[in-house]
Chain A
Amino acid sequence: MSIESDNAKENVKDIVDKCIKCGMCNSLCPVLKIVREEQSSPRGKAILLDSNYFEKLIYECSLCKACESKCPLNLKLCEAFVNARKVLVLSKKECVEGKEMIKNLNKSGNIYGEIESD
């Protein structure tokens, strides 16, 4: 583990520790509306991160910040999820689509890997 990922982990922990599990964030989450399972809700993800569960499930978030607008403690959950993704990338656990995207960017300068034709 690098120092960078440790820092990101600490940042996540700082935010998630304060969660009081009231579940208000769930009321607006667009992902939960479709998936309808607790583990993909903001509260569920916060609980999972709190128990050191850094897996691909964290990618099930649109980072729209609707949960932050409802949080009574004004916790920056989306920031925690972004940092959790950082930890995943640094530990080479990121999702396949992400990997491909980075490859394409390096190759052609855009995420689709298409070369511009003049």
Chain B
Amino acid sequence: MNKREMVCYNTDASRLRGKTEKVVFPKNIEEVQKAVKTNKGDIIVRGSGTGIVGGCIPNDSVVIDLGKMNKVSNFNTKSNKIRVEAGITINELNDKLNGAGYEFPIFYLEGGLSRIGSMIALNILGERSLRYGGIKEWIEEVEFVNGRGELMTLGKADLGDVCGMEGITGIIVAIVLKVIPKVRRSYSIFQSEDINEIFSISRRLKLENEIIMLKLIPPMVSDFLNLPHKYNLIIEFDSERGKIKGSEYSRLNKLLRDVYFLFYEKGYSNSEDPKFFYDKVQEFIALLEHNNIPYFCDLGLSIVFPFFKDDEDSKREGVINFIEKSRAKPGKYGIGLNRKYLFDSFQEKIVRRVKMRYDPFNKFKRNHIIDFDGRVENPLPAHNVGEKKTTSLPLVSKVKEQISEKINESKSNDLKMTGEEKSVRSLLEELRTPDEKMEELIKEEKKREEGVPLSEEIGGMTNADLDQSVVSEEIKEVNNVEKKIIEIDEGVSKFEKYGISVEPRRVEKESISNEGISSDKSELVGDADDKSLVNGDLEDSETTEIGNVRVSDNLDRKSGNGASSEVNDIMSKIYGGSSNNVSSNVPNGSKGFNRDDISNEDKDKKESVKEKDKKEDKDRDLINKILGNRMEGEK
């Protein structure tokens, strides 16, 4: 290869630029081993070059292109396993498998030109990973060449040393994959103008076994795709249960894969791919919509893809700030050179150890993911045995000086020190009078009541906001405990209204013990409700059928301790009158039960039950629409 022709290996879809020293095209494993052994400099393995984080940008490196290693062998239809070389693309593999009536279900990127080796190095979540999981779960065995040029075979237990390491531990050369018989799939589209409705319904649909993809396309992007100007929730089924099948299915499939192109066409050529907790997604979307940033979202995997034009750097920085603060994880493209801010510092230690084990001389991908000093190429400064290490001392001594100064200051204020040493922070805390603390609390409470709009700063949430919310929650809890003590005093009479006799002695005990309240009380109210609700419409608490969807109550457990009133609202929306049952199922010790509403719930319940019945009918209609007409057929 001509030296000038190497220019095309200097860059990829991230549009960063590096410098290539040499390009190698190995045709088999031996040639890969030879390339690793003979080269002492930096080695970078290149896939198809479609990543947006600069994963294959060289830095005076030898680039190994595995494109010519694309053989398929040992296809076993009994055990559904196949051995492939790392350079084969996902499209090529599926073309070959489709001929035999099989397929590899993890699908990634629109063109289908990403290579299996790079997919494993990134441990990617494909389009259908909501049910099929990451690619790691489809690997039986990985063959890879480590930093010493040795060929290693890793079984399922050690896959973590290669999957998700982005190629810094070795070069993946061959993989034994699991495949499945080809499945006929279908789509349904749910449209709504209310984003809350979309979120509450998708939370339910995520629990469905047959649903493999939930993609949210907001009104702004729906216009690009010629869909109605609404929130479009596109649901893919692993069966023909959806309404869009056959030729229409493949048409919509193509349209969805063209979403990226449509963004590029409009000039939005930069994107991010953070993966949040499900509850954080809505907040992030609100931020994007307020700042008119186009996006689409994989609700199943909680990955949001915001897009930016080249001249929108300020917007992008704001969004990145938010992503950093909310501790999102890298979604699809990994960390590479661009996204080091998403790298978990706790994980860094583990990555370092693994890197040390497989690639001690730091041959692969220098400065990618972590800044790692190899054993030989970049040796650490040596120290004489007799001398003390001085490199780390200045910093430590500075900190010590600062601490001692502060302690001296506090001593000069006639502070009585106890025998044990105290941290400066605790000393400063003690210096503040209770009045000052109260004043601060009141100020924060006032600020909270005034409410700072999300719009002012692009980040939306500042640290101060987060602190406020914590403080306000604490205040709420204190208030709740006070209210509870009063309410429980009156509680006996209230329960008696519904003809339930409650032993006053037991209630008094609960009011004293703080921990037992939430669980025991929820049981009490649950019992009371069961008797108070005259309508016998309540459905089973463990599994419930809405239309033809069978939904388990795992949601409550999934939503975890943060269940709170929000989840209860959504549950009541979907379940209608059965929300009371749901609250009674919240596991012990969780904050799921809304303690404020004990008295209010009792009063409003009879009125709300009628309204909820109406809502229930509406929601049933909605979910029936999404999930096809099986119910109608049964009727």
Q: Which residues of A contact B (CB under 8 A)?
A: 20-24, 26-28, 36-39, 41, 43-45, 47-48, 51, 53, 55, 57, 70, 72-74
Contacts and interface: CB of A to CB of B under 8 A. Distances in A.
A12 to B, nearest CB: 16
A24 B70 contact: no
Interface in B128-187: none
Interface string B324-356: 000000000000000000000000000000000
Nearest to A39: B5
Interface in B1-60: 1-2, 4-5, 7-13, 15, 25, 46, 48-50
Contacts of B261: 24, 72
A23 B11 CA distance: 11
Contacts of B12: 21, 23
Given A21-B11, A21-B12, A47-B8, A37 B49 contact: no
Given A39-B1, A48-B8, A57-B5, A26 B68 contact: no
B111 interface: yes
A-B pairs with the 6 shortest C-beta distances?
A27-B111, A72-B264, A72-B261, A44-B8, A36-B67, A27-B113
Contacts of A55: 2, 4
A81 B110 CA distance: 25
Contact of B111 (A24, A37, A57): A24
Contacts of B262: 72
Nearest to A45: B8
B256 to A, nearest CB: 15
B583 to A, nearest CB: 49
Most B-side CB within 10 Å, residue of A37, A41, A47, A51: A37
B65 interface: yes
A20 B269 contact: yes
Interface residues of B, number: 34
A37 B25 CA distance: 8
Nearest to B13: A22
B1 A24 contact: no
Contacts of A24: 50, 110-111, 113, 261
Interface of B: 1-2, 4-5, 7-13, 15, 25, 46, 48-50, 65, 67-68, 70, 87, 91, 110-113, 260-265, 269
A38 B68 contact: no
B48 A26 contact: yes
A47 B7 contact: yes
Contacts of A70: 111
Contacts of B49: 21, 23, 38, 43
A71 B630 CA distance: 41
B205 to A, nearest CB: 31
Contacts of A73: 264-265
A65 B634 CA distance: 51
B7 A21 contact: no
A24 to B, nearest CB: 5
Contact of A47 (B11, B68, B70, B91): B11
Nearest to B5: A39
A36 B68 contact: yes
Given A27-B91, A38-B65, A53-B5, A21 B264 contact: no
A36 B49 CA distance: 13
Given A21-B15, A39-B8, A51-B4, 15 more contacts: A21-B12, A24-B261, A26-B48, A27-B113, A28-B111, A36-B87, A38-B9, A38-B49, A39-B1, A39-B5, A43-B49, A47-B7, A47-B8, A53-B7, A73-B265
24 contacts: A20-B269, A21-B49, A22-B13, A22-B264, A23-B12, A23-B48, A24-B113, A26-B48, A26-B113, A27-B112, A36-B25, A37-B1, A38-B46, A38-B49, A43-B49, A45-B8, A47-B7, A47-B11, A48-B4, A48-B8, A51-B4, A55-B4, A72-B263, A73-B264
A106 B405 CA distance: 95
Given A21-B12, A21-B15, A38-B65, A26 B7 contact: no
B269 A37 contact: no
Contacts of A45: 8
B112 A37 contact: no
A37 B264 contact: no
Contacts of B11: 21, 47
A38 B50 contact: no
A26 B67 CA distance: 12
Contacts of B13: 20-23
Contacts of B110: 24
Given A37-B67, A38-B65, A26 B8 contact: no
A98 to B, nearest CB: 20
Contacts of A43: 8, 49
Most B-side CB within 10 Å, residue of A39, A41, A45, A55: A39
A26 B113 CA distance: 8
A53 B7 CA distance: 10
A29 to B, nearest CB: 10
Contacts of B260: 22, 72
A59 B4 CA distance: 17
B14 to A, nearest CB: 8
A45 B4 CA distance: 12
Contact of B113 (A23, A39, A57): A23
A23 B50 contact: yes
Most A-side CB within 10 Å, residue of B4, B5, B7, B87: B5
A44 B9 CA distance: 8
Nearest to B260: A72
A117 B264 CA distance: 57
